[in-house]
Structure 1
């Protein structure tokens, strides 16, 4: 029986490609770096900001610290207007709350509190965990484990809703079920958008056991 539904943020609750590209390019521009290339644009959806900075710095500690400093001073919420939710989130989530507890587990960090406010999801989540809590980012399971702990339930009674291979890997390591969203990841349980989530959750509830399947990147 599923008790806790944990959501990733980017790619699940909203399309953030435009927002993420603008955010990183604003930082890189201030430190004299080129804009994101196509591969970095894809990674920006799932990876923690510091991972993006480390990859771009190529071992240059001064450059890395410059990126971090700009990120700390930049108000990331100015990019929220570029986020594109697939539906009106609050009524959808409140309906889910009639049956499940809800969680949020994301590789985002300092933008999380303002993001929840912007999406009008205050009071919706029973537990929130992010890189801001000082835990390792996905694909490590730490963010998920912390969210589950805060919700007071067990991994086998939880499901993570994510849109990337690293989300699936984190769920496998944490021992939770997984529902894949969108074209970037394939899985036994897959949906196009979260509009289809309630039916898939009912399907999971009907099954006494479920072993999450390994992910494969979509071609």
Structure 2
């Protein structure tokens, strides 16, 4: 594979574009508390971080057959008030500008469902991406490669023309199954084509810094 062939750079949201640990923990803790359950354990936190909301709710409430009350609770709580606890990754906006200046397609592939638009709006990033694919856009979220395949199809790209940046095993599996380049962000334990700790290092891989 030739790094110079890359035409599109696709970002996962949670753990890559943003540190969402505090926001996600507060959100799910409030949901759990509404049903008199204790807050997230460390293991639960790691798992829900990768999952879609639906997967997370099924995982956190295995004892409930009819989850409609839990979903009603989610609507009441809402996620928007937790966005303020998210922190944008240092150098993200600068990297996105440089990618655009260098002619790259910029994308998002995330297992968020209906909150991505609001996140981009609140952080002033609405105009920084050519494509945003969420769990709501596809039939099968990550680890299925559908999000990446959709981006490929939309822009008529080959697998070796996409660089996908993620931080979880779901991301790794999606990249592997789509046969695209994979960058593991701030997770040195993940097997990847590249392991990085900063946005600057991504620019370095593409030789645009």
Q: Tell me by how many angstroms 1:147 deviates.
A: 2.7
Give distance in 2, aligned partners of 1:149 and 1:59.
40
Give distance in 1, aligned partners of 2:21 and 2:158.
32
Match in the other structure for 1:49? 53
Give distance in 2, aligned partners of 1:87 and 1:31.
36
Match in the other structure for 1:87? 90
Instruction: Pick one of 191, 194, 201 that aligns with 2:196.
Output: 191
Q: Tell me by how many angstroms 1:133 deviates.
A: 1.5
Give distance in 1, aligned partners of 2:112 and 2:87.
17
CA distance change for structure 1 residues 188 and 177 in 2, over 3 Å: closer, same or farther?
closer
Instruction: Pick one of 113, 116, 119 that aligns with 1:112.
Output: 116
Which secondary structure does the structure 2 equivalent of 1:133 belong to? coil
Give distance in 1, aligned partners of 2:33 and 2:13.
26
Q: Tell me by how many angstroms 1:88 deviates.
A: 4.9
CA distance change for structure 1 residues 59 and 141 in 2, over 3 Å: closer, same or farther?
farther
Q: Tell me by how many angstroms 1:77 deviates.
A: 1.7
Alignment of 1:66 with 2:69, yes or no, is yes
Instruction: Pick one of 173, 177, 196 that aligns with 2:177.
Output: 173
Residues 68-115 of structure 1 deviation map (CA, whole Å, 9 limit, x = unaligned): 222233331211111122315333311111121100000001101101
Q: Which moved more, 1:89-98 or 1:165-174?
A: 89-98
Give distance in 2, aligned partners of 1:93 and 1:51.
30
Alignment of 1:160 with 2:164, yes or no, is yes
Unaligned runs of 5+ in 1: 204-219
Q: Which moved more, 1:17-26 or 1:129-138?
A: 129-138
Residues 102-132 of structure 1 deviation map (CA, whole Å, 9 limit, x = unaligned): 0000000110110111221111111111112
Residues 22-76 of structure 1 deviation map (CA, whole Å, 9 limit, x = unaligned): 01111122233221111011123221111111112215222x2222222233331
**TM, length-normalised to structure 2:** 0.89
Q: How does 1:21-60 map to 2 (within 5 A)?
A: 21-58=25-62, 60=64
Give distance in 2, aligned partners of 1:161 and 1:30.
35
Q: Which moved more, 1:189-198 or 1:82-91?
A: 82-91
Give distance in 2, aligned partners of 1:29 and 1:152.
46
Match in the other structure for 1:207? none
CA RMSD of aligned residues (A): 1.8
CA distance change for structure 1 residues 90 and 40 in 2, over 3 Å: closer, same or farther?
same
Which secondary structure does the structure 1 equivalent of 2:150 belong to? helix
Contact in 2 for aligned 1:168/1:178 (Cα 8 Å): yes
Q: Which moved more, 1:163-172 or 1:137-146?
A: 137-146
**TM, length-normalised to structure 1:** 0.85
